[in-house]
A and B are shown apart, each in its own frame.
Chain A
């Protein structure tokens, strides 16, 4: 079946540090890949997505590249801010039409300090 593996958290960084949150997946075919962010006390927001190999999703300074050869979709940001403190979820959706369901990773908590 499909699965998503994320690096364990929490990740604690100082402001302006470089961020990488690893995400690898197992799926048949060519899934779409997503990063969602959950700020404290809120629901999930779509951060970025990629739908085919070598696509790069980007938003708010975050980037992730769909790497089929390594089945990875690592999230990166060059300089984090305190306001980026949140839980980040990697997810995949298999390309099986509208019946496909999201598979989530366990989430990685990021805490950014001054």
Chain B
């Protein structure tokens, strides 16, 4: 398995500002993902974070709104830009280990936008 940490664990932000969420894994992983979980909903994949290249975004998500970095095999950031109350969600980092088909999830970042 993998131990995944996220910072911050929660935040309350003002409309129009941006927040960067960090994800750190304790082992080298093949793939890192970012998900959004809106209140009372299931998980929606935002993008796959690729090391050293641009992230791969799912339909409905764009780089200008959710820029992602992955400078190495164990760290990634997701920025939620120009926030609105509709961005209030839990944002989860997820990883897949080399040689495994299982995905592990971080504890999530609970974002409230006022």
Contact = CB atoms under 8 A, between A and B. Distances in A.
Q: Interface extent on B, as a size class? A: 20 to 34
A101 interface: yes
A98 B96 CA distance: 8
B31 interface: yes
Contacts of B59: none
A95 B104 CA distance: 17
B42 A106 contact: yes
A104 B38 CA distance: 14
B67 interface: no
A98 B30 contact: yes
A65 interface: no
Contacts of B30: 98
A44 interface: yes
B105 A36 contact: yes
A46 B100 CA distance: 13
Contact of B106 (A43, A89, A101, A104): A43
A89 B31 contact: no
A46 B71 CA distance: 27
Q: 10 tightest A-B contacts by CB?
A: A44-B105, A43-B107, A43-B108, A43-B105, A104-B42, A106-B42, A32-B101, A104-B43, A107-B42, A98-B30
Interface of A: 32, 34, 36, 42-46, 49, 51, 89, 93, 95, 98, 100-102, 104-107
